[in-house]
Amino acid sequence: MSRGGRDPDTRLKSGKKRTVSSARWLQRQLNDPYVKQAKADGYRSRAAYKLAELDERFGLLKGVQRVVDLGIAPGGWSQVVRARAPAARVVGIDLLPTEPIPGVTIFEMDFMADAAPAALQGALDGPPDLVLSDMAANTVGHKQTDHLRTMGLVETAVDFAISTLAPGGGFVAKVFAGGTDGELLTILKRNFATVKHAKPPASRKDSSEWYVIAQGFKGRAAG
Protein backbone atom coordinates (compact mmCIF):
# COMPACT_ATOMS: atom_id res chain seq x y z
CA MET A 1 0.00 0.00 0.00
CA SER A 2 1.13 3.51 -0.77
CA ARG A 3 2.23 5.41 2.34
CA GLY A 4 2.04 8.74 0.52
CA GLY A 5 0.37 11.89 1.74
CA ARG A 6 -3.26 11.84 2.82
CA ASP A 7 -5.86 13.57 0.72
CA PRO A 8 -7.31 16.74 2.24
CA ASP A 9 -10.02 15.79 4.71
CA THR A 10 -13.20 14.63 3.10
CA ARG A 11 -15.96 16.54 4.82
CA LEU A 12 -19.00 14.67 5.97
CA LYS A 13 -22.32 16.19 5.06
CA SER A 14 -24.46 16.62 8.13
CA GLY A 15 -27.35 14.27 8.69
CA LYS A 16 -29.94 15.12 11.29
CA LYS A 17 -30.61 11.46 12.14
CA ARG A 18 -26.95 10.47 12.45
CA THR A 19 -25.60 10.04 15.99
CA VAL A 20 -22.40 11.78 17.04
CA SER A 21 -20.56 8.46 17.39
CA SER A 22 -21.68 7.15 14.00
CA ALA A 23 -20.77 10.46 12.39
CA ARG A 24 -17.28 10.28 13.87
CA TRP A 25 -16.87 6.68 12.67
CA LEU A 26 -17.99 7.56 9.15
CA GLN A 27 -15.74 10.64 9.07
CA ARG A 28 -12.78 8.48 10.07
CA GLN A 29 -13.63 5.89 7.41
CA LEU A 30 -13.86 8.54 4.71
CA ASN A 31 -10.43 9.90 5.59
CA ASP A 32 -8.66 6.59 6.28
CA PRO A 33 -6.00 5.92 3.60
CA TYR A 34 -6.19 2.17 4.25
CA VAL A 35 -9.94 2.18 3.57
CA LYS A 36 -9.36 4.03 0.31
CA GLN A 37 -6.52 1.71 -0.70
CA ALA A 38 -8.59 -1.39 0.12
CA LYS A 39 -11.26 -0.21 -2.31
CA ALA A 40 -8.64 0.44 -4.97
CA ASP A 41 -6.98 -2.97 -4.46
CA GLY A 42 -10.24 -4.92 -4.33
CA TYR A 43 -9.94 -5.95 -0.68
CA ARG A 44 -13.10 -6.19 1.38
CA SER A 45 -11.69 -4.42 4.40
CA ARG A 46 -8.72 -2.40 5.59
CA ALA A 47 -7.87 -5.36 7.86
CA ALA A 48 -6.34 -7.09 4.83
CA TYR A 49 -3.29 -4.85 5.20
CA LYS A 50 -2.77 -6.00 8.80
CA LEU A 51 -2.16 -9.55 7.63
CA ALA A 52 -0.15 -8.35 4.63
CA GLU A 53 2.13 -6.33 6.92
CA LEU A 54 2.51 -9.19 9.40
CA ASP A 55 3.37 -11.50 6.51
CA GLU A 56 6.02 -9.10 5.26
CA ARG A 57 7.59 -9.02 8.71
CA PHE A 58 7.28 -12.68 9.72
CA GLY A 59 6.94 -14.62 6.44
CA LEU A 60 3.72 -16.23 7.60
CA LEU A 61 2.48 -17.33 4.18
CA LYS A 62 5.73 -18.66 2.75
CA GLY A 63 5.18 -22.23 1.55
CA VAL A 64 1.82 -22.74 3.30
CA GLN A 65 -0.45 -25.43 1.85
CA ARG A 66 -3.43 -25.30 4.22
CA VAL A 67 -4.72 -22.26 6.12
CA VAL A 68 -7.57 -21.77 8.58
CA ASP A 69 -9.13 -18.30 8.89
CA LEU A 70 -11.08 -17.99 12.16
CA GLY A 71 -13.46 -15.03 12.10
CA ILE A 72 -13.20 -14.75 8.34
CA ALA A 73 -15.90 -12.09 7.72
CA PRO A 74 -15.81 -10.01 5.62
CA GLY A 75 -12.96 -11.96 3.99
CA GLY A 76 -10.00 -9.58 3.69
CA TRP A 77 -7.49 -11.91 5.34
CA SER A 78 -8.42 -14.86 3.13
CA GLN A 79 -8.11 -12.59 0.09
CA VAL A 80 -4.51 -11.86 1.12
CA VAL A 81 -3.83 -15.58 1.61
CA ARG A 82 -5.21 -16.38 -1.84
CA ALA A 83 -3.12 -13.60 -3.42
CA ARG A 84 0.14 -14.59 -1.72
CA ALA A 85 -0.30 -18.37 -1.55
CA PRO A 86 -2.57 -19.14 -4.53
CA ALA A 87 -2.05 -22.91 -4.30
CA ALA A 88 -3.03 -23.12 -0.63
CA ARG A 89 -6.28 -24.69 0.54
CA VAL A 90 -8.10 -22.08 2.65
CA VAL A 91 -10.98 -22.69 5.06
CA GLY A 92 -12.76 -19.97 7.02
CA ILE A 93 -15.49 -19.74 9.64
CA ASP A 94 -17.64 -16.94 11.03
CA LEU A 95 -21.02 -16.37 12.62
CA LEU A 96 -21.56 -13.57 10.13
CA PRO A 97 -22.36 -14.24 6.49
CA THR A 98 -19.38 -13.92 4.16
CA GLU A 99 -19.61 -13.47 0.41
CA PRO A 100 -17.93 -16.33 -1.49
CA ILE A 101 -14.21 -16.06 -2.22
CA PRO A 102 -12.78 -18.15 -5.07
CA GLY A 103 -10.75 -21.03 -3.68
CA VAL A 104 -11.97 -20.58 -0.09
CA THR A 105 -14.35 -22.89 1.79
CA ILE A 106 -16.50 -20.86 4.18
CA PHE A 107 -18.59 -22.11 7.10
CA GLU A 108 -21.26 -19.79 8.51
CA MET A 109 -21.29 -21.13 12.04
CA ASP A 110 -20.04 -20.46 15.56
CA PHE A 111 -16.40 -21.44 16.02
CA MET A 112 -17.25 -22.25 19.64
CA ALA A 113 -19.80 -24.87 18.51
CA ASP A 114 -18.81 -28.49 19.15
CA ALA A 115 -19.06 -29.36 15.45
CA ALA A 116 -16.82 -26.51 14.24
CA PRO A 117 -13.34 -28.05 14.62
CA ALA A 118 -14.32 -31.24 12.79
CA ALA A 119 -15.94 -29.24 9.99
CA LEU A 120 -12.79 -27.18 9.49
CA GLN A 121 -10.47 -30.19 9.58
CA GLY A 122 -12.67 -32.13 7.18
CA ALA A 123 -12.56 -29.34 4.62
CA LEU A 124 -8.77 -29.04 4.87
CA ASP A 125 -8.01 -32.67 4.05
CA GLY A 126 -4.87 -32.52 6.16
CA PRO A 127 -3.27 -30.57 9.01
CA PRO A 128 -3.06 -26.78 8.55
CA ASP A 129 0.27 -25.00 8.24
CA LEU A 130 -1.21 -21.77 9.57
CA VAL A 131 -4.14 -20.88 11.82
CA LEU A 132 -5.23 -17.24 11.69
CA SER A 133 -7.64 -15.63 14.13
CA ASP A 134 -8.91 -12.08 13.80
CA MET A 135 -11.82 -12.90 16.09
CA ALA A 136 -13.02 -10.50 18.76
CA ALA A 137 -16.04 -10.81 21.03
CA ASN A 138 -18.88 -8.34 20.70
CA THR A 139 -18.08 -5.51 23.08
CA VAL A 140 -20.30 -4.50 26.00
CA GLY A 141 -18.45 -1.29 26.80
CA HIS A 142 -16.69 -2.59 29.92
CA LYS A 143 -12.97 -2.85 29.14
CA GLN A 144 -12.15 -5.75 31.47
CA THR A 145 -15.20 -7.75 30.42
CA ASP A 146 -14.52 -7.14 26.74
CA HIS A 147 -10.91 -8.24 27.21
CA LEU A 148 -11.90 -11.45 29.02
CA ARG A 149 -14.51 -12.32 26.37
CA THR A 150 -12.02 -11.90 23.55
CA MET A 151 -9.30 -13.80 25.41
CA GLY A 152 -11.77 -16.68 25.75
CA LEU A 153 -11.93 -16.82 21.95
CA VAL A 154 -8.13 -16.64 21.73
CA GLU A 155 -7.77 -19.53 24.19
CA THR A 156 -10.13 -21.66 22.10
CA ALA A 157 -8.21 -20.73 18.94
CA VAL A 158 -4.93 -21.73 20.62
CA ASP A 159 -6.41 -25.09 21.64
CA PHE A 160 -7.55 -25.65 18.06
CA ALA A 161 -4.15 -24.70 16.64
CA ILE A 162 -2.22 -26.98 18.99
CA SER A 163 -4.64 -29.83 18.24
CA THR A 164 -4.45 -29.54 14.46
CA LEU A 165 -1.29 -27.78 13.21
CA ALA A 166 1.36 -29.56 11.19
CA PRO A 167 4.85 -29.55 12.74
CA GLY A 168 6.55 -26.24 11.99
CA GLY A 169 3.20 -24.49 11.56
CA GLY A 170 2.21 -21.03 12.71
CA PHE A 171 -0.53 -19.30 14.67
CA VAL A 172 -1.64 -15.64 14.62
CA ALA A 173 -4.36 -14.15 16.82
CA LYS A 174 -5.70 -10.75 17.73
CA VAL A 175 -5.27 -9.79 21.36
CA PHE A 176 -5.63 -6.45 23.08
CA ALA A 177 -3.63 -4.05 25.25
CA GLY A 178 -1.39 -6.01 27.57
CA GLY A 179 -0.92 -8.77 25.01
CA THR A 180 -1.48 -12.44 25.69
CA ASP A 181 -2.32 -13.48 29.27
CA GLY A 182 0.54 -15.09 31.19
CA GLU A 183 -0.82 -18.63 31.31
CA LEU A 184 -1.70 -18.61 27.62
CA LEU A 185 1.70 -17.16 26.75
CA THR A 186 3.34 -20.01 28.66
CA ILE A 187 1.34 -22.55 26.63
CA LEU A 188 2.34 -20.89 23.37
CA LYS A 189 6.02 -20.77 24.33
CA ARG A 190 5.93 -24.44 25.27
CA ASN A 191 4.44 -25.41 21.91
CA PHE A 192 6.13 -23.00 19.48
CA ALA A 193 9.75 -22.12 18.78
CA THR A 194 9.09 -18.37 18.78
CA VAL A 195 6.28 -16.22 20.21
CA LYS A 196 6.13 -12.49 19.58
CA HIS A 197 3.66 -9.60 19.80
CA ALA A 198 3.29 -7.04 17.02
CA LYS A 199 1.10 -4.11 16.09
CA PRO A 200 1.03 -3.76 12.28
CA PRO A 201 1.00 -0.21 10.87
CA ALA A 202 -2.52 -0.79 9.53
CA SER A 203 -3.85 -1.07 13.09
CA ARG A 204 -5.20 2.32 14.05
CA LYS A 205 -2.98 4.14 16.53
CA ASP A 206 -5.89 4.65 18.91
CA SER A 207 -6.78 0.95 18.82
CA SER A 208 -5.75 -1.32 21.69
CA GLU A 209 -5.39 -4.34 19.39
CA TRP A 210 -2.14 -6.26 19.05
CA TYR A 211 -1.38 -9.60 17.46
CA VAL A 212 0.43 -12.59 18.90
CA ILE A 213 2.54 -14.47 16.35
CA ALA A 214 3.64 -18.00 17.22
CA GLN A 215 5.85 -19.85 14.75
CA GLY A 216 7.61 -23.21 14.55
CA PHE A 217 5.00 -25.52 16.08
CA LYS A 218 6.88 -28.26 17.91
CA GLY A 219 4.26 -30.96 17.44
CA ARG A 220 1.68 -32.48 19.73
CA ALA A 221 4.28 -34.23 21.91
CA ALA A 222 5.39 -30.80 23.16
CA GLY A 223 1.95 -30.01 24.64
Which residues form the domain of 138? 48-222
Pairing between β-strand 89-94 and β-strand 130-133 as defined by DSSP bridges:
unpaired
User: Are both 183 and 77 inside the same structural domain?
Assistant: yes
Q: How confident is the model at residue 96 (pLDDT cuts 50, 70, 90)?
A: very high
Give me the pLDDT at residue 106, please.
Answer: 98
Q: Catalytic site residue 174? A: yes
103 is in an annotated binding site: no
Task: Write down the pLDDT at residue 151.
Answer: 84
Q: What is the number of domains present in the chain?
A: 2
Residue 7 lies in a domain: no
149 and 59 inside one domain: yes
Same domain, 153 and 67: yes
Do 112 and 95 share a structural domain? yes
* 58 class by beta-carbon count within 10 Å (0-12 exposed, 13-18 middle, 19+ buried): middle
In a domain, 153, yes or no: yes
What's the pLDDT tens digit per position in 176-215? 765 567 889 999 999 999 999 999 988 867 778 899 999 9
Same domain, 37 and 125: no
pLDDT for position 158: 96
Quick one: 107 and 167 in the same domain? yes
Q: If you average pLDDT over every residue of the chain, what do you get?
A: 83
Distance of CA 105 to the CA centre of its chain: 16
Residues 78 and 105 in one domain: yes
Please indicate, yes or no, whether residues 104 and 169 belong to a single structural domain of this protein.
yes
Q: 185 and 76, same structural domain?
A: yes
CATH code: domain of residue 192: 3.40.50.150
Which is catalytic among the residues 13, 17, 36, 174?
174
Per this entry, what is the length of the chain? 223
Do the annotations mark residue 32 as ligand-binding? no
Interval 44-51 mean pLDDT: 89
Residue 3 lies in a domain: no
Residue 156 lies in a domain: yes
Q: Is 159 annotated as a binding residue?
A: no
Specify which residues 173 forms β-bridges with. 133, 212
